[in-house]
Every structure is written in C-alpha cells, then in structure tokens.
Amino acid sequence: MKRSFLLLPPSRLLLLLPLLVLPVLTSAFVFPGFAQAQTRLMPLGDSITHGGQGYCAYRYELWFDLQNGGYNVDFVGRFDDTNSGDPTAAWYPDYLTTFDRDHEGYWGWRTDEIETIAMAAATAGLPDIVLVHLGTNDIGQMGAAGVTSADTNLRAIIGNLRSVVPNVTILLAQVTPIGPGSSYFANAAQVGPLNAVIAAIAADSTSAQSPVILVDQNSGFDLGTMMQSDGLHPNLLGESQMADVWFAVLDSLLVPGNIPPTAAITAPTDGSTFAAPATITITADASDSDGSVTEVAFYADSTLLGLDATAPYEIEWTSVPTGVYALTAVAEDDSGASRISSAVTVSVLPFTGGTPLTVPNPSFEDPVRTDSQLASGPGVIGGWTFAGTASTFTGIFNPPEESYPGAGGNGTPAGADSANVAFLFHNGGPGDSVSAAMLLTDTLAADSEYMLTVAIGRFLPDQPYAFSTYGGYRIELLAGGTVIAESVDEIDPPTGAFRDAYAYVASNGVNPGLIGLPLSIRLDISAIDAPRSSHFDNVRLARNLIPTGVQVAGGTADAGGGESADALLHASPNPFNPATTIRFTVPRSGPVTLAIYDLRGRLVESLIDGEFRAAGTHRLQYRPDSPSGLYFLRYTRGHHKRTERITLLK
C-alpha cells in the first residue's frame, strides 16, 4: 500500500503533549499522513476493547467522533460483537446500523495470549493503524510478574504486526486504573510499573517506517465517575473519556476528508396515520457543512419513492396501500458522500374490501361539517348521550370559542383537527369520569373485522376549564350491548402542550350470537382533580372483509390442505396500544416459532420458541413493554416463514 507522508508542524505536535508522549524525533523523522483513501483502524485489546455487560467499549463513541470529523476510516477485525451480545440499545442506538463493529478485542486475555493471534489479526485486517490497550489482565492475574510478562509480549506483538504490515502505525496505550470491585484490585499498585514499561516500549520500538506512539489513557481517567462497579471496565463516561484520548491522537495523524451531509424528515411526523389509499407528502431538511446537497432520495422501507434536487426537498407519495412504513431520507453532497435520516414511521389504516362504515364526525353540529382528514361519506352518528360519576359535568358539541379560547368552536389548537366533543368536570375528583355513548346505524356483520380509531386529546392548560393531567381513557366497541373490543390506557400529556392519543380497537365479526345486533361506541375519560376538561375527535369505524372460512373465535381454519395456509399471519389491532391479538394458522401439527424483532433485526421477544402446535388457527395476546415504534412479527414453521409489520403506539 502506498502512503503519502505529512511532516507535522511543531505547533501541531505541541497540542498533543497533554494527551500523549511522542517518541524522540530525528531530523529525518516524519509521521504518516493518512488522507483521501480509507484508513484501516484495528482496535486490539482485552475486555476494555471487546465490551460487554451491556456496554460497547470506547469503540462506539470513537467511531462517531471520526465520522463527525470527516475522516474516512474503516474499523477492521475478525469480530463484531461484545462479550455479552448486543449492548444496551438505549445507550447505543446506532450499534446495529451505522456503527462499524469490527474489532480484535478478547475478554480476559493477557498479552501472551494476544501475541499468539496478532499475526493472524494483522493478516486478516491489514491495518494502517492499530490501537493497543493491553496489560490489565497480566497484572490482575499475575501481579508483579505480569509487568515483566507484558514487557516481553507487547514487544513481540509489535514485531508480529510489523511482520505483516511493515509500515503499520501503532498507538500503544498506558492502561486505565484499577478500582475496587474485583480480585484485580489487590494488584492495582502494579498499574504504575506497567505503564512505565509501556512508555519504555514505545520509546524503544518506534521507527520512521513504523511509528509507535504512546497514548496516556490513565491520567485523565477518574475511578470515581468513569468506572463500572467491577473497577475494571469503563462506564459510559469512561468510554467517552477513552474515545476522546484516542481521537486526539488520530486527529493529529489523519487528514480530514469530506464531511457527509445531514438529513431529517420534517413531515409527516413519527406515528402519523392515513387512510388507504393515501397520499402522503414527505418533506425533509438537508444541509452540508463543507459543500452542497445535490439531491435527497426518499425511501419507504427499502423502496425508493423519488428524488428531489432542489430545496425544499419534498415528494408526494400517492395511492399508498394499507400498511406500516418506515420513511427515510438520504442526502447526497457534491463530493458523493451521503447520510441517512432517522426513520419516521407512518401507518395507513387498513381498508381492504367490503362495505365501509365510516364515522367521520360531521354530525356534531348543524349544518353538517366534515372536519376529519380520515372522513369519507356521510356521517352516521345519531347523537351522543352523556353520563358520569362527577357531581356536576357537561358534555357539549363544538364548544364555543368564548368557553375554550383557542381550543374549540372558531379556534383550533395546534395539532388537532377540531375539538368536537368536550367533557367538562366542574367538580370532578380523583377517579371521576364522564362517558359518551353513541349508537351506530350499522349492525355487526359476519366475516368482517372492525377497526375503530379515536383521537383523544386535551385543551391547552392555560385556557379556562383546561387541565394538565387526567386519569386516562377507555374505548369500547359494542354489539348489542356486549363489549367485543376495548382499549384502556393512561395518558399524561406534557404540561403546556396539546397532545392527541390515538386509540385503535379492532374486533372480528364472527361471533354468531352477536351477528346482526346494533353496534355502538362508548368513550370514558377520567379526571384527576377539578376542574377538568377533555375532548375526542376523529372517530372512524371501518369494516373490512376477512378471509371466508376462517373461524377465529373457534380456533379452526379451512386450510384446504395446502401450504399456502401458512400465509395467514395477522395481528389486530395494528397499530395497537397497549395490546394486540396475533392469530396464525398451522396447516400441519408441528413445531412453530413466533418472535418479535425491531427495525435493526434484533430479537425483542420470543413468543413461541419451537413449541408444538396442533393444526388449526391459534390466537395469543401480545402486550409488550417496548417503546413505541415499528416492529416485525415473524412466524416460522419448518422452511416456511411469514413476516408482518406491527406498530406499537404509546
């Protein structure tokens, strides 16, 4: 590999002195300047490099520091894991996506063990730069003898790396301190002698062709705030400290390249819902700090929807079918670099066939006025009746502006289509509630599934009769007075902001005893203390045909003996909160696997793990503790696999 060389000015060298000790320079000595072409970095070490116990090690933050600095680098190594599987997702959100996980970290290994694999690691990775942090296990397991052992083995490791890549640059770290929490603490006093030996190795081993640069990972590392409870492994703050020290050295060696642009979808917002066939306008912001954005590509999952080369970046996605989609935008700059935005999940409500029954909320006032974006066709609301436990309460349609300034009537709060029905708790107390009931002009039909969507919100807290919290809500779909589906949730909107909480309630219409009976909807909203008020809006009930011959309630299926019956995998409601019912068909008795995965392909929960299931249709309820988002429900039977996207809205 050819390299260009860059002689560093003295001012650049002086900036490094607080963080690293440089080898003695001769007049002919130069540092390699890694520029333009991708530079291969190999993290080589023990558990502090490997990561585990929910942590990823310094590698994660260092990678993104280098990316944000515009450096074109590639982490190399034969491993891409931590010692305990994937780290805590909330701490490392991009671990499985844009983070380069490759490394040569070995949990619990001493330098004599690393010496045996150093040549193979270099052969596989062909690194330009190797980041070495080793010796902690030597002194932890061997005491003072470990210092002598590390001296011999670190020199051998450097020789093995050079035997494969003669001009490799080695960043040799003095190790982090050892604190109480493990048996290693008995040998914590050996950290000082070990680091003195490491400094001597760097000075003795460096050369013009293959520099060895001493990196001080010890001085700024605070045991009280930067270490896990075991006294050996860095916590998040410690990982950040180590990454900063590594980056300061690399920043002196690497020549910045092009910094990728940034992209963010601004509309629609995450969790937005639409009615099929939908038209969705997608807009994005994109910018480039060291150039210009040439185009923005819009994707739904992995499907390219369109390109826009001019700001404001926007496309219109038409005739969108029922489903849940992860929307992303990819910005590309004038140097060919690109970056993907965070995903925005949207749901297009199912409407697959049959005669629709829609409650679009137009008949809350006279003359009829449709206010909901989901509305289609005439309203079928015959009127609402109110009841409650509060000592006094009122239910009103379209509250006038003088009663709810900025909330109802002629004024509409931000984020709401309107405030069509309000519950007023004039003297409501904790646990008191007001309910509204409405009888539909339709009856429960066979071989149908009903999806009820209700948006529940609150008025601005600084307005009259407004409130900052309330106890929650219950939505029920009834047939002949019998509850056939319900959703119960507790909502605590943030103070000072309007918020809608969407409830989805679905029910199949195959119960023979209820078919033909009138449908009704009931909404209950409870108070915390008085005075309180709330509203609901966007009431929509859609009736869809479900496959004929499938008796969900009875747990049987007309599979016809064919393998195609495996295709019946369905979660309803979807989107859902807090629970959904999953039904799946097993055409032949045998082992079945049913599992939930997130967008990055990580297993979230195993619902059925290779368990025997008899032939027929089965149902189970899924009530996750996971955060809101898009997930994948995967069914496996032998070689047959089916996947359905599901969305949890909290």
Residues of the chain within CATH 2.60.40.3080 domain(s) are: 555-648
Phi and psi at residue 388, in whole multiples of 5°? -175, 170
Report for 202-216, 517-531, 553-567: range of highest mean pLDDT: 202-216
Residues of the chain within CATH 2.60.40.10 domain(s) are: 262-349
CA neighbor of 170 nearest in space, from 249, 243, 74:
249
Q: Residue 290: what pLDDT?
A: 81
CA neighbor of 612 nearest in space, from 588, 647, 639, 595:
588
The whole-angstrom separation of Cα 460 and Cα 647 is 28
Report for 88-92, 151-155, 554-558: range of highest mean pLDDT: 151-155
Q: Write out the CATH class of domain 31-253.
A: alpha beta
Establish how many alpha carbons lie within 13 A of residue 105's alpha carbon, considering only the half-sphere containing its beta carbon: 25
Model confidence band, residue 376 (pLDDT cutoffs 50, 70, 90): very low
CA neighbor of 72 nearest in space, from 100, 94, 101, 96:
100
Residues in a beta bridge with 501: 456
The CATH homologous superfamily for domain 384-545 is Galactose-binding domain-like (2.60.120.260)
Q: Write out the CATH class of domain 555-648.
A: mainly beta
Query: Per residue in 324-371, pLDDT tens?
Result: 788 988 888 888 777 778 788 887 765 444 444 434 333 333 222 222
Residues of the chain within CATH 3.40.50.1110 domain(s) are: 31-253
The whole-angstrom separation of Cα 277 and Cα 322 is 7
Q: Please report which helix (H) or strand (E) contains residue 88, including its range.
A: none
Mean pLDDT of the chain: 72
Establish how many alpha carbons lie within 13 A of residue 474's alpha carbon, considering only the half-sphere containing its beta carbon: 15
CA distance to 29, 135, 147, 201, 209, per residue, from 205 (Å): 14, 17, 17, 6, 11
Least confident of 77-91, 268-282, 386-400, 549-563: 549-563
The correct answer on CATH 3.90.470.20 for the domain covering 262-349 is no
Q: Say whether pLDDT at 210 is over 70.
A: yes
Exposure pattern of 622-648 as b/e (b: 16+ CB <10 Å)? bebeeeebbbbbbbbbeeeebebbbbb
Least confident of 55-64, 216-225, 407-416, 570-579: 407-416
CA distance to 395, 420, 463, 530, per residue, from 390 (Å): 12, 21, 21, 10
Higher pLDDT, 482 or 606: 606
Query: Per residue in 230-275, pLDDT tens?
Result: 999 999 999 999 999 999 999 988 877 677 788 899 999 887 877 7
